[in-house]
Structure 1
Amino acid sequence: MATIYQVSELAGVSLATVSRVMNNNVRVSEATRNKVLAAMEQLGYRPNSIAQSLASSRSNSIGILVSELHGPFYGEMLTGIEAEFRAAGKHVIIAAGHSERATEEDGIDFLRSRNCDALILHVEAVSDQFLIDLSTKETPFVLLNRHVPALADRCISLDNELGGYLATKHLLAQGHRHIGYIAGPMWKTDARDRFHGHQRALGEYQLTAEDALFFEGDFRETGGSKGLQVLLDSGRPFSAVVCANDEMASGALTAARELGYDVPADFSVIGFDNVNFAYYTYPKLSTIDYPVSAMGQMAARWVLKQVYQQSRIDVQQIFNPHLIPRDSVAGATAD
Structure 2
Amino acid sequence: MATIYEVSKLAGVSLATVSRVMNNNANVSDATREKVTRAMTELGYRPNSIAQSLASNCSNSVGLLVSELHGPFYGPMMSGIETAFRKQGKHVIIAAGHSNEEREQQAIEFLISRNCDALILHVEAISDDYLIELSKGKTPFVLINRYIAELSSRCIILDNVKGGYLAAKYVLEQGHTDIAYISGPLWKKDAQDRLTGHKQALAEYNLSFNEQLLYQGDFMEDGGAAGFQYLHNNGPQFTALICANDEMATGAMATARECKLKLPEQLSIMGYDNVFFTRHVYPPLSTINYPINEMGRMAADWVLSNVYQKNTPPLQTLFEPELIIRQSVLTHPQ
Give the alignment's TM-score, normalised by structure 1.
Answer: 0.90
Match of 1:78 in 2: 78
After TM superposition, the structure 1 = structure 2 runs for residues 158-177 of structure 1, keeping only pairs within 5 Å, are 158-177=158-177
Most deviating of 245-254 and 36-45: 36-45
Q: Distance in 2 between matches of 1:178 and 1:211?
A: 12
Match of 2:149 in 1: 149
Report the Cα offset of residue 173 of structure 1.
Answer: 1.3
Q: Verify the 8 A CA contact 1:168 1:201 in the aligned structure 2.
A: yes
Q: Verify the 8 A CA contact 2:157 2:317 in the aligned structure 1.
A: yes
Q: Distance in 2 between matches of 1:92 and 1:60?
A: 9
Tell me which amino acid in the other structure corresponds to 1:124.
Answer: E
Q: Does 1:316 align with 2:316?
A: yes
Q: Distance in 1 between matches of 2:116 and 2:136?
A: 16
User: What secondary structure does 1:3 align onto?
Assistant: helix
Structure 2: runs of 5+ lacking an equivalent:
none
Most deviating of 122-131 and 88-97: 88-97
Tell me which amino acid in the other structure corresponds to 1:173.
Answer: E
Q: Verify the 8 A CA contact 1:18 1:36 in the aligned structure 2.
A: no
Q: Verify the 8 A CA contact 1:8 1:36 in the aligned structure 2.
A: no
Q: Verify the 8 A CA contact 2:213 2:235 in the aligned structure 1.
A: no
User: What secondary structure does 2:142 align onto?
Assistant: strand
CA 312–82 in structure 1, closer or farther in 2 if over 3 Å, else same:
closer
After TM superposition, the structure 1 = structure 2 runs for residues 106-255 of structure 1, keeping only pairs within 5 Å, are 106-255=106-255
Report the Cα offset of residue 190 of structure 1.
Answer: 0.2
Match of 2:104 in 1: 104
Q: Does 1:3 align with 2:7?
A: yes
Q: Verify the 8 A CA contact 1:8 1:18 in the aligned structure 2.
A: no
Identity, % of aligned pairs? 54
RMSD over aligned Cα atoms = 2.2
CA 33–74 in structure 1, closer or farther in 2 if over 3 Å, else same:
farther
User: What secondary structure does 1:72 align onto?
Assistant: coil
Report the Cα offset of residue 43 of structure 1.
Answer: 4.8
User: What secondary structure does 2:73 align onto?
Assistant: helix
Q: Verify the 8 A CA contact 2:167 2:270 in the aligned structure 1.
A: yes
Match of 2:274 in 1: 274
Match of 2:295 in 1: 295
Report the Cα offset of residue 33 of structure 1.
Answer: 7.0
Report the Cα offset of residue 17 of structure 1.
Answer: 6.8
Tell me which amino acid in the other structure corresponds to 2:251.
Answer: G
Report the Cα offset of residue 66 of structure 1.
Answer: 0.9
Q: Verify the 8 A CA contact 2:7 2:36 in the aligned structure 1.
A: no
Tell me which amino acid in the other structure corresponds to 1:191.
Answer: A
Tell me which amino acid in the other structure corresponds to 1:135.
Answer: S
Report the Cα offset of residue 3 of structure 1.
Answer: 2.6
Q: Distance in 1 between matches of 2:29 and 2:294?
A: 29
